[in-house]
C-alpha cells in the first residue's frame, strides 16, 4: 500500500510540474542596459486553496498515468478479486485526501449531515472536480432502502481499458468506487461501494443500517 501511494504521489508531482510557469521578463534601466529579471518559481502550495480555477490535464497524460497504475496493480495480483481490491484501496487513499479540499471549496468547509445531500454532493460536486462533469444518474433500489446507485454511461477510467477474455469480470472503475467509499465513510456515512457492468458502469452504494436509521 505504501508503495502504491508513493507511485501516486510521484504521478501527482509530475502533473503539478506541468502547471509551474517560470517566466523571464525583460526590463531596461536608465542607462539603457537590458536586465533579465527571473520571476520566483511558483509552487502549487503558493496558490490560494479556495480557488475554483480549473487546471485540466491532457486526456493522454491521464490515460498514461492510469494505465501505469492498472499495470502495477495487475503485476502485484494473482487473481481478479485481488487485482480489483488493490485498485479499490488506491482509490480509497485518494478519496480520503479529496474530502477537505472539496468541502472547503464547494461548501465553505461545512460537511453534509443528510444522506441525500451527501449523495448529491458526490454526484455533482465531487464528480465535476474529478472528471469535469456530473455523474449521469443517482437512483435508489426499489427493494432495499440501504442501497443506492450512481450510474455512469461512459466511465472515463474504462474508456481506454481493454479487458482480456480471461478477466471478463474485471471493472477498473472499482478505483472510482474506492474514492466514493472513502468520501462517504470519512463524512460519517459508513458504506461499501462496488463497481459493476450495468447500464454502462454502475456504482452500488450499500449504507450501514445505522446510517439509514439516523437519517429518518
> Which CATH number is 157's domain given?
3.30.1380.20
8 is a domain residue: no
34 is a domain residue: no
53 is a domain residue: no
pLDDT in tens, 178-215: 999 999 999 999 999 999 988 899 999 999 999 999 98
In order, the DSSP letters of 37-70 are EEPPPPPGGGS-TT--------HHHHHHHHHHHH
SS3 state at 153: coil
SS3 state at 148: strand
* Domain count of the fold of the chain: 1
pTM tops 0.75, yes or no: no
Q: Which domain holds residue 70?
A: 59-215
Residues belonging to the chain: 216
2 is a domain residue: no
- Mean pLDDT in residue range 3-13: 50
pLDDT in tens, 37-76: 455 556 655 555 555 555 667 788 888 888 899 889 989 9
126 is a domain residue: yes
* Contact in structure between 118 and 212 (CB atoms under 8 Å): no
- Mean pLDDT in residue range 99-121: 82
Instruction: Indicate the average pLDDT of the chain.
Output: 78
pLDDT band at 6 (very low <50, low <70, confident <90, very high): low
194 is a domain residue: yes
Angle at 129 between CA 39 and CA 185, to 5 degrees: 120
* Contact in structure between 38 and 24 (CB atoms under 8 Å): yes
Amino acid at each position: 500500500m505504501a508503495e502504491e501511494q508513493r507511485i501516486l504521489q510521484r504521478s501527482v508531482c509530475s502533473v503539478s510540474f506541468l502547471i509551474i510557469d517560470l517566466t523571464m521578463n525583460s526590463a531596461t534601466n536608465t542607462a539603457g542596459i537590458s536586465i533579465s529579471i527571473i520571476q520566483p518559481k511558483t509552487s502549487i502550495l503558493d496558490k490560494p486553496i479556495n480557488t475554483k480555477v480549473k487546471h485540466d490535464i491532457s486526456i493522454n497524460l491521464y490515460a498514461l498515468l492510469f494505465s501505469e497504475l492498472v499495470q502495477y496493480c495487475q503485476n502485484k495480483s494473482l487473481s481478479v478479486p485481488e487485482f480489483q481490491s488493490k485498485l479499490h484501496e488506491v482509490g480509497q487513499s485518494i478519496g480520503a485526501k479529496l474530502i477537505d479540499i472539496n468541502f472547503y471549496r464547494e461548501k465553505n468547509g461545512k460537511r453534509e449531515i443528510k444522506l441525500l445531500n451527501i449523495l448529491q454532493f458526490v454526484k455533482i460536486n465531487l464528480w465535476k472536480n474529478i472528471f469535469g462533469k456530473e455523474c449521469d444518474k443517482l437512483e435508489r433500489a426499489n427493494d432495499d432502502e440501504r442501497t443506492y446507485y450512481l450510474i455512469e454511461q461512459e466511465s472515463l477510467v474504462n474508456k481506454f481499458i481493454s479487458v482480456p477474455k480471461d478477466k471478463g469480470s474485471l471493472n477498473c472503475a472499482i478505483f472510482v468506487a474506492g474514492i466514493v467509499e472513502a468520501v462517504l465513510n470519512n463524512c460519517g456515512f459508513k458504506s461499501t461501494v462496488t463497481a459493476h457492468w450495468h447500464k454502462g458502469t454502475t456504482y452500488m452504494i450499500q449504507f450501514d443500517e445505522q446510517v439509514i436509521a439516523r437519517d429518518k
